[in-house]
Amino acid sequence: MSEHIDLAVATTRDLNGALHALPPDTNRTLWRVLNPRGQHALAVGIDAPVRVEIAGHAGYYCAGMNGGATVVVEGNAGNGVAENMMAGRVEVRGDASAAAGATAHGGLLVIHGNASARCGISMKGVDIVVGGSVGHMSAFMAQAGTLTVLGDAGDSLGDSIYEAQLFVRGSVASLGADCVEKEMRDTHRAALAARLQAAGFDGVDAGSFRRYGSARRLYHFHVDNAGNY
């Protein structure tokens, strides 16, 4: 038995209000959102462990601040999908626009298509898995968490990165300041295999990825690095 909210008649506030009112032990655990028509801020800030299926393309900040729900976008998502997610799972069946998973602290963001520029910007602990490619400046100032890309990465991957770990199977157009390739050890392969499985990419070989991370040269100001700030 699922709940239906049709955004052709209901407002975004109706949808989010209903989802926010759910107690943690709710038995209304499956929600279908019809006619999203690219509207912004759908299914944001949900704390209850429910599943929300958005039947089409979503606009900006979809599933932002997610606190534990599973949100599935059955189309494309606009800017900032799952921005500042704390926990839960957000899945985009199509492509995601810029700044997917921005500043997110936890949870799992899966994008089956491509993610455009600045994917995982300032990420703080989220796991992001992208089935396609990511655009330029992805993982910019990424602080913690992982970004896994099955396709290619655009220019300046991991610019000014802190301690996030980046895994790319395809080509990297260029690495950003202080981002370097690192050795892929067994522990990395095992953890990556587990994440790929959790994201639904079971058949993908974790051994086919390369790992990138911080060279830790920009942590403290050094005058020789001034050009990189």
Partner 1 sequence: MCGIVGLFLKRPGLEPELGGHLAAMLATMRDRGPDSAGFAVFGRDNGTVKLTVRGPGLQALAARLELDADQRDTHAVLHVPASRMEEVRTALASDPAVTVVGEGRRMELYKEVGLPADVAARFGLSAMAGTHGIGHTRMATESAVTTDGAHPYTTGPDQCLVHNGSLSNHNALRRRLVREGYAFETENDTEVAAAYLSWRMREGDTLEGALHAGLKDLDGFYTFVVGTRTGFAVLRDPVCCKPAVMAETAEWVAFGSEYRALVDLPGIADARVWEPEPARVYAWERAA
124 binds partner 1 (CB under 8 A): no
From the list 42, 48, 57, 124, which residue makes contact with partner 1 (rule: CB under 8 A)?
A: 57
79 binds partner 1 (CB under 8 A): yes
133 binds partner 1 (CB under 8 A): no
CB-CB contact of 63 with 44 (8 Å):
yes
How far is it, in rounded angstroms, from Cα 102 to Cα 30? 26
Question: At 165, which amino acid appears?
Answer: Q
The set of residues, in sequence order, having a beta carbon less than 8 Å from that of 62 and lying 6+ positions away, is: 40, 41, 42, 43, 44, 54, 71, 73, 77, 78, 81, 82, 90
Of the pair 16, 35, the CB lying nearest partner 1 is at: 35
How far is it, in rounded angstroms, from Cα 77 to Cα 143? 24
* Sign of CA pseudo-dihedral 222, 223, 227, 229: positive
64 binds partner 1 (CB under 8 A): no
Of the pair 80, 145, the CB lying nearest partner 1 is at: 80
From the list 78, 88, 158, 213, which residue makes contact with partner 1 (rule: CB under 8 A)?
A: 78
Of the pair 173, 190, the CB lying nearest partner 1 is at: 173
Q: How distant is the alpha carbon of residue 197 from its chain centre?
A: 16
Of the pair 38, 68, the CB lying nearest partner 1 is at: 38
From the list 95, 127, 159, 178, which residue makes contact with partner 1 (rule: CB under 8 A)?
A: 95
From the list 84, 97, 103, 214, which residue makes contact with partner 1 (rule: CB under 8 A)?
A: 97
